[in-house]
Amino acid sequence: MDGNIRDESGKAVPDATVFVSAAGGARPVKTKSSADGSFHVILTTDGTYRIEADKPGVGNAAVEASQLKLGDAKRCDLVLSSARTSPASSSASGPTAGGFEFSDEPNFTVAGVTDWSNAGLHGSDARARTSDELTKETVALSGAAEKSIPASPNAAYDLAIEYREKGDFARARAEARKSLAASDTADGHRLLGDLDERLGDSLEAVREFELAARMDPSEQNYFAWGAELLLHKAAQPAAEVFAKGSSAHPSSARLLAGLGVALYAAGSYDEAARRLCAASDLTPADPAPYLFLGEIEKSSAAPLTCSKERFARFVREQPENAQANYYYAMSLWKSARDLPNQMGSPETERLLEKAIKLDAKLTDAYVQLGILRAGRGDLAAAIESYKRALAVDPGCSDAHYRLGLAYKRTGEDAKARQELDAYQQARKSESANAERQRQEMKQFSIIFKGRSETPEAPNSTPH
């Protein structure tokens, strides 16, 4: 929990004593406001909390906040009054009687942009690449919705959309600004944010998306704001925005999926999977949450606890979807591979073969089929599967690596060395491409209430 202490004139109050206590008589947490009047308290349990602040000669204030949960990005801004204030309930929606504010205002500010760095990424290079891929796919969900922006009586707004569709983003932005001058609307700010991003002005873009969400906290505005933050490596703020949006729009699968992707980017892998599983439950016929979940499954060493039954449903919902068959096969294989004498079930092999039949360019399915066959000792069939993968994608590092190992097991050392050398080159190429793309992406510098972090390096995420 974060907040600020002010006096009745609006000036920051440093060195005020702040008590935060849970209902039930638990020992209160005590802290002091800093030089700028801000304070930060870590909640250790869910519950109803009372927040009190006091400074001799200035005044005091108190508030009861209902049912706070761990991870909630809540703010409690109090105004000290020389007249004793009485506790009052707060709905977390703005000013209340008694001289305090308790709100769901964001716990961060986008202060600027910086060059990309490794800060804020978690885990292996494979997980970093997975996070980048998931981010692209999440942003694409936002772009698809933007095409459905309704027409407006404002001629400049309609003209801005027309120019955008033609790819003339500079003229589109000029018209969008004219539109806002004539009629200040949330749709106008979201449109301007989209155009700012396309023209490389990401700092102005995120501000426009935030303003749109403040003016109209619609599902679309929440998603656009969260996606913009995620695109620029602000994983924790993106998770906060997606979480707030999901709470306001509980039927939105894409907000929940966006939250899952943001949590993954912030390093909360298990929680990310749970959110994506929940997103698939909201709209079982929508492939997007399953595909996001599948990307996480691919990069995870262990099977995800909630994924197998969701992939089974994905196959039931879309039996002719190649990726549905592939992801379900991969989940079955992971779930069974550590069992005694496990050589890969016929069902797993059947699903992989069907995936390949449905999509002959699905490289991952060829590789997985090769792994399954190598596991049961059928090296000739495994080698054939890896070769077919490389015929589709000659730069597939995993296929080169697996093929090299298979050749080594069959005693073909020269071929093994050749494939393992090719693996090293493919890995270098993949890493160089990923690095180049990241270097081209501006990263937001985030100031969290009470502290500054540049670039943003999340340590925890909202739930």
Question: What is the pLDDT, as a whole number, of residue 341?
Answer: 58
Does residue 122 have a pLDDT over 50? no
Q: Please tell me the distance from the alpha carbon of residue 87 to that of residue 68, in angstroms, as a whole number.
A: 17
**Is residue 90 very low, low, confident or very high in pLDDT (cuts 50, 70, 90)?**
very low
How much is the average pLDDT of 233-259? 94
Label residues 287-309 b or e (16+ Cβ within 10 Å = b). bbbbbbbbbbbbbbeebbebbbe
- List Cα–Cα distances, 296 to 20, 267, 305, 306, 309, in angstroms: 39, 12, 12, 12, 15
Domain architecture of the chain: domains with CATH:
2-105 (2.60.40.1120), 112-267 (1.25.40.10), 360-435 (1.25.40.10)
Q: Please tell me the distance from the alpha carbon of residue 56 to that of residue 296, in angstroms, as a whole number.
A: 54
The mean of the pLDDT values for the chain is: 83
What one-character-per-residue DSSP string does 71-104 give?
A: T---EEEEE-BSSPPPP-EE-SEEEETTTEEEE-
pLDDT tens digits for range 359-409: 999 999 999 999 999 998 999 999 999 999 999 999 999 999 999 999 999
Rounded to 5 degrees, φ, ψ at 459 are -110, -25
pLDDT tens digits for range 290-314: 999 999 998 887 888 899 999 999 9
pLDDT tens digits for range 210-245: 999 999 999 999 999 999 999 999 999 999 999 999
**Is residue 159 very low, low, confident or very high in pLDDT (cuts 50, 70, 90)?**
very high
Question: What is the pLDDT, as a whole number, of residue 121?
Answer: 42
pLDDT tens digits for range 407-452: 999 999 999 999 999 999 999 998 888 778 777 778 887 877 654 4
Percent of the chain whose predicted confidence (pLDDT) is above 90 = 54
pLDDT tens digits for range 50-84: 788 888 888 887 765 545 655 555 667 777 766 44
The alpha-helical segments, DSSP class H, found in 283-396 are 287-299, 307-317, 322-336, 346-358, 363-375, 379-392
**Is residue 49 very low, low, confident or very high in pLDDT (cuts 50, 70, 90)?**
confident
Q: Taking the alpha carbons of 447, 453, 455, 456 in that order, is the dihedral positive or negative?
A: negative
